[in-house]
Amino acid sequence: DAKTTQPTSMDCAEGRAANLPCNHSTISGNEYVYWYRQIHSQGPQYIIHGLKNNETNEMASLIITEDRKSSTLILPHATLRDTAVYYCIVFGDTGRRALTFGSGTRLQVQP
């Protein structure tokens, strides 16, 4: 699986958009970009995933650059409940192999 690089931590003001970057310069053509988050003492929660087109769901938006070497997860209006560790994972073998988690980005939403 392609390696990802994320900032260790970020702060965001409540009500503002949180933009979490992820670099994955070695991504291959059949690998998706997945985003999960883990709120303290809970299991990881799926947020969104995409291959090359931008994606949006009720939780977030995923912007993938044209060359697919980086992506940004956008939480449009962050709330205190969005404080969590966010993991960007590049993966192309869903269902057959397990996801590998890196260190992620610790997002702290400030009141």
Q: Any contact of residue 101 with other proteins (CB under 8 A)?
A: yes
First to last CA, the chain: 37
When asked if residue 30 is in the footprint of other proteins (CB under 8 A), the reply is no
Beta carbon nearer to other proteins, 25 or 100: 100
Q: Which is nearer to other proteins, 16 or 97 (CB)?
A: 97
Distance CA 92, CA 86 (A): 19
* 98 sits near other proteins (criterion: CB under 8 A): yes
> Phi and psi (nearest 5°) for 60?
-160, 175
Q: Is 41 in the site for other proteins (CB under 8 A)?
A: yes
Residues near other proteins (CB under 8 A) are 34, 36, 38, 41-46, 49, 87, 94-104
